Amino acid sequence: MSVLPDLLRQSAAMAAKDLLVEWRSPSRVSGIFFFALALLLMVAFTTGASAATLQKSAGGALWLGMLLASTRSLNLAFAVETDDDALEGLVLWPVDPRAIYLGKAFANTTVLFAVAAALTPLTIAMYDAPIRGSVGLYIAFLAAGAAALAAPGTLYALLTTRARAASVLLPVLLFPLVVPALIAASRGTSLVMEGDPMVQAPSWFGLLVAFDVLHWSLGSLLFGRVVEDA
Amino acid sequence: MSGYEPGLIGIVLFAASALASRRAPFAWEHVVGLYGLIVFAWGQYTGLFVAPREAMMGEVSRILYVHVPAAWIAMVLFTVSFGGSLGALLHGLFKKYGKAFAGLAAAGLLVDVIAANAVDAAPTIPLLVVGVVATLTVVGMSVLVLWLEWSADDFDHLSEAAVEAGVVMCGLLLVLGAIFARPTWGVFWTWDPRLTASAVMWLTFVGVMLLRALITDREVRALWASTATILAFVNIPITYMAVRWFRSMHQMQSSTGTMSDGMYITLRINAWAFLFLGIWFVARRWRIAKALSMREAPPALPEPVPVEAT
């Protein structure tokens, strides 16, 4: 179909815009990096300092930090649009609204992936949990997990811009929805970190990818109707 | 007595009273609600005193007759809410193509029934259930749009009503399940796939209700809550099929082949009771939603004075 290259081009432009804004003043990325880091420390303190427990909970702690950081990131992603009513300009832009969604969701994925990648060496150090399994699969989990948080998150972040108590509403809406992805990502990364002797990580990865495919399609379908009223 | 009879009578009552109220408007849902209460009383009596004990669990198994219907009807109500959200978003589409959609849905159900019969008995129940529910949703929406001439707002009220009733029913399901689990599994709760999915389903729809409560603009609320409901609906097939797709402590779906007559007939009676009570709750809540939106709507401006040509 001839519409696909246009859609990709427009999404790329949208994503490039968001990432450029972020590159120029990286308040969002650094803010959520330190927030997630603080969370990793808190989880280590609260689950007790026993080395064995920490090693086992490394994957879970990483994803818990990512989840809580993602709500901040998503709120900030749309803050840049609501300041100076930039979102209206975006809606008036003569492009496929799916391109706006795909571009924004991709930019959010990139930010979350960058934060997760930056946190990895610190997690390995703090939790004494080196990656004994395949590093490639670990990176794949980070990417797919970031995408899983970004897809429904981008849609919900837009929905909550007009709601009162938006900063409370976004986690309440987002967290139950991403539970399957969270379980898959944290179990998968834990398995990869521990070496995965029974080769279970690929099935968790499959579940994560299925979640991604479903929510990226649903999000792009629904975003068009939603953004008109934002 | 197969257990379907109370349902058939109830459906006839539902249709008859709803049609009668089109001639002379009255609260038809009370008829259905009263019938539901009667069937509920009968079902509970049967469940507590008449139905046989389960071979291994004994008297504890009687909680089955409230836990399972609550689960089924919670999922049905969430599906109704999903249908309402689809209707609110796709109202124009259904107005144009409603008959085609209904026809396609009926044809799809036929294919589904044939496929289910061609395969072995036990795995086909989810297949049949999905087919029936999907067909009823699409056909129901077409009927509402084309015949009863519902507006997009009416569908949004239905979504709002069904979500609330569904959340209550789902909460009941979780509590009753915990009560059931303690003597049978030894724990009130465990993080197994079916239970986790049910809890997540409940939380997701609570989030939808919260979204509705926190958006003040009526049209934006209708649109965005519908979107959130459609996203939340993804949980229903996951919850229903979790016992088949994953290794779960919770048992798989039963069939007439795996349950004795006394038990599945009682289960059916109670399920019908919960369904008609659910219809009653949703209808009442729909009326409240409609009344609230009428109150919120701005007062109509007076007609402009006609200007005569001079």
pLDDT at residue B123 in the model: 56
Task: Please state whether A163 falls in left (phi above 0), alpha (psi between -120 and 50) or beta.
Answer: beta
Segment A98-114 shows an average pLDDT of: 92
Exposure class string for A181-205: b at 16+ Cβ within 10 A, else e: bbbbbbbbbbbbbbebeeeebeebb
pLDDT at residue A230 in the model: 62
pLDDT at residue A153 in the model: 92
Dihedral of alpha carbons A80, A85, A91, A95, sign: negative
pLDDT at residue B122 in the model: 52
Residue among B203, B211, B238 whose CB faces A169 most closely: B211
Dihedral of alpha carbons B245, B239, A161, B223, sign: positive
Could you give the C-alpha distances from B107 to B103, B112, B123, B125, B134, in angstroms and in order?
6, 9, 21, 19, 12
In single-letter form, the type of residue at position B3 comes to G
For the stretch B109-125, pLDDT in tens is 888 878 777 766 555 67
Q: Coil, helix or strand for A107? A: helix
B209 contacts chain A (CB < 8 A): no
- Residues of chain A contacting B227 with CB distance shorter than 8 Å: 155, 159, 222, 225-226
Segment A47-74 shows an average pLDDT of: 87
Is the pLDDT assigned to residue A9 strictly greater than 70? yes
pLDDT at residue B45 in the model: 94
Is A159's CB within 8 Å of B214's CB? no
Rg of chain B, C-alpha, whole Å: 21
Cα of A227 to nearest chain B Cα, Å: 10
Residue among B204, B220, B230 whose CB faces A176 most closely: B204
- Residues of chain B contacting A183 with CB distance shorter than 8 Å: 196
How many residue contacts between A and B have a Cβ separation below 8 Å? 70
Mean per-residue pLDDT over chain A, rounded: 87
Cα of B277 to nearest chain A Cα, Å: 28
B230 contacts chain A (CB < 8 A): yes
Is B220's CB within 8 Å of A162's CB? yes
Query: Are the C-beta atoms of residues A188 and A205 closer than 8 Å to each other?
Result: yes
For the stretch A127-150, pLDDT in tens is 888 999 899 999 999 999 999 999
Query: CB B9: neighbour CB atoms within 10 A?
Result: 14
- From CA A31, how far away is CA A71, in angstroms rounded? 12
pLDDT greater at residue A36 or residue B273 = B273
In chain B, which residue's Cα lies nearest the Cα of A222?
A: B227
Residue in B259, B254, B257, B271 with CA at minimum distance from that of residue B6:
B271
Is A159's CB within 8 Å of B210's CB? no
Distance in angstroms between the alpha carbons of the first and the last residue of chain A:
30
ipTM exceeding 0.85?
no
pLDDT tens sequence for chain B (310 residues): 888 899 999 999 998 998 898 888 889 999 999 999 999 999 999 999 988 888 888 888 899 899 999 999 999 999 999 999 999 988 888 888 888 888 888 888 888 878 777 766 555 677 777 788 888 888 888 888 888 888 889 999 999 999 999 999 999 999 999 999 999 988 888 888 899 899 999 999 999 998 898 888 888 889 889 999 999 998 898 898 888 888 888 888 777 777 888 888 999 999 999 999 999 999 999 999 999 888 877 767 777 777 777 6
pTM of the model: 0.82
For the stretch A169-193, pLDDT in tens is 888 889 988 999 999 999 999 999 9
Of the CA atoms within 13 Å of residue B306, those in its CB half-sphere come to 2
Is B214's CB within 8 Å of A222's CB? no
A177 contacts chain B (CB < 8 A): yes
Is the pLDDT assigned to residue A207 strictly greater than 70? yes
- From CA A7, how far away is CA A14, in angstroms rounded? 10
For the stretch B74-132, pLDDT in tens is 999 999 999 999 999 888 888 888 888 888 888 888 888 787 777 665 556 777 777 88
In single-letter form, the type of residue at position B258 comes to T
Task: Please state whether B309 falls in left (phi above 0), alpha (psi between -120 and 50) or beta.
Answer: beta
Is A229's CB within 8 Å of B223's CB? yes
